[in-house]
Each structure stands twice: as structure tokens, then as C-alpha cells.
Amino acid sequence: MNNFDLKNKTAIITGGAQGFGLDIAKTFLTSGAKVFIWDIDDAELSKAVKEIDNKNLDSNVVDVSKFEQVKDAVNKISSNNKIDILVNSAGITGPTAELWNYDNKAWSDIVNINLHGTFYCCKSVVPIMIKNNYGRIVNIASVSGKDGNANASAYSSAKAGVIGLTKSLGKELATYNIAVNAVTPAGAKTRILDQMTKEHVQRMLSKVPRGRFLEVSELTSMVCWLSSEENSFSTAAVFDISGGRSTY
């Protein structure tokens, strides 16, 4: 993996205790950043902090679907740090079912975490970035937000919303040195697959021309570039990493 210069940068990574978020956090740290990982799971956070064992890593238990928790955590961090980078990686897939059989609470939970959580984090962090005239925001969407996955209407809808949010916010911040972009990964071997049936996972994999799952490190490479100063022009964009499943 190429090295990116993130020295003197402070990053917040939601869903940072596992999966994509944890791998991104590790690479950010080796690139010189100070990193705050957020997660709703205190045990997983403690495990991640112990595993990484880096003085530039801190953690916060934050439920991103609760605006006041997000705002309080941002205020505490910004009282002693700049906030240069925000990676919105927290997300759940929820159950697989036809839309007409979809549980109402499950639908709300999925939208609240994936879409509202991204909104709350951006809403809280952007004013700080505007004040500093610098920022990089990367929203982890999904190929399902482009194509739609059968029996995953809530997740597909929420991730489509993340894509729309990214395009709008990127345009709103285009006159500042703030880039807002989304990535749309295909399925990867993370714990999020455990929330899906084996049949649903196999159906997802069958749509990928490369014929394999995404490696977590491959997504991390893309996110690192989007989070760096080298990304000085691209904003309000969607970067596909679906192994050829989507070509737009």
C-alpha cells in the first residue's frame, strides 16, 4: 500500500472498532494521524485499543443515531484538537426480507444508523472544518445504494441516501478546502456479512465480475487517498470499488 502523509491531522472514524473502520484507523495511525474511533460496542472498542496500542489512538462510545451523543463527542474532541478528517463507516445491514414483509423497527434502525448517523456526524463536524478552511469527509456507502439489493430495501435505501447526501454536501462546501466523497464497496469479508443469510451473501457475490469479495485493505487504500491533501480537487463524487459490478 502507498503511504499517505497524514501527519498533524486528526481523524474521527465511526464504526472504528471493527471491519472497514478498524483497518482504516490502523492505516491512518501508521500515516501519522491522531485517530478517534467511535463505536456503540464498548467491548469491541476496548479490544481494538488494546490490539493497536498506539498513543495517538483514542476511543469514544458513541451511538451515531443519537444526535446529542454525536454533538457532545465532537465538542469534547474539538476543545483540544482540530478535526481534519471524518470517515463515516458505522453501519448495519439488518435482516433480509421482502419490502412488504420488512419489520418496521428494523427499517427505522437501519436508516437511523446508516443515513441519519452520517447526517448527524457531518452536521456536527462541518462547522469546525469551515472555521479551519480544511477538511476531508469520506462516507462509506455501498454498491447496493446504486443498484439496490433484493430483500435489502432498507439498507439499499439508506445507502442511496448517503450517496445523495455526499453529492449535496460536497457542492455546499466546494468553495472551501473541504472535500466530501463517498465510496461504494461491494461485499467484503467483515462481520457485517454475519447479519445476512448465506443465500443473500452468495447472490451478492455472484454479481461481482471479479468473482471474489473485496479485500478490506483495498477499500482502505482508496479511503486514505480521499482523506489526504493529495485529494485536492475531487469532491461530491462517488468512487466505485465493486469489482466491476457497477460501472458508474
Contact 4, 231 (CB under 8 A): no
Contact 179, 235 (CB under 8 A): yes
- Which set of grid coordinates corresponds to residue 95? 435482516
Instruction: Look at residue 183 and give its three-state secondary structure.
Output: strand
Length of the chain: 248
245 vs 222: CA distance, rounded Å: 17
By annotation, the residues acting in catalysis are 155
Residue 38, beta-bridge partner list = 14, 60
CA dist 137 to 85, 126, 171, 241, Å? Answer: 6, 9, 13, 17
Who contacts 34 (Cβ-Cβ below 8 Å, separation ≥6)? 9, 10, 11, 56, 57, 58, 81
Q: How many CB atoms lie within 10 A of CB 242?
A: 22
- Which set of grid coordinates corresponds to residue 180? 466530501
Strand arrangement of the beta sheet that strand 135-140 belongs to: 57-61, 34-39, 10-14, 85-88, 135-140, 178-185, 237-241
CB-hemisphere CA count at 13 Å for 156? 14
